[in-house]
Amino acid sequence: MKNGVYSLLKARFLLNEDAVKNWRFIVFIIFLGILMIANTQRFEQKVFKIVELTNKSKELRSEFVDRRSELMKLKMESAVSEKMIEKEIFPSTVPPVKIKVKEVKEKRFFQKLWQ
């Protein structure tokens, strides 16, 4: 047992005849570790991007609601009439009247002929 631990601490398994297999396995493990770290990094970057876009979406949505309510206030008749009073344009006191236009029918050739 003492000889096994001592040889492990001196890393003799990397120097003896079968060391090529051990080195290949160690390089493979290191490669998998680096791949796992890179994959985790990309995942975290995507999560941060999703959070950023979600916050921006919420911000734009609230801005849209604010602008829409502001537009509704500006479109009200009272707001429009106040702005027109400043320019000395007053609302009409006479209600609008519908104008009807009658079409003049042209007489056909035979109708003109028989008259």
Name the residue with higher pLDDT: 52 or 93: 52
Answer yes or no: is pLDDT of 66 > 80.
yes
Answer yes or no: is pLDDT of 17 > 80.
no
> Does pTM surpass 0.85?
no
Name the residue with higher pLDDT: 41 or 88: 41
Q: Which backbone phi and psi does 14 adopt, to 5 degrees?
A: -95, -10
Mean pLDDT of the chain: 86
Q: Which residue has the tokens 């492990």?
A: 8
Residue 84: pLDDT band with limits 50, 70, 90? confident
* Distances 53 to 13, 45, 58, 112 between C-alpha atoms, Å: 52, 12, 9, 76
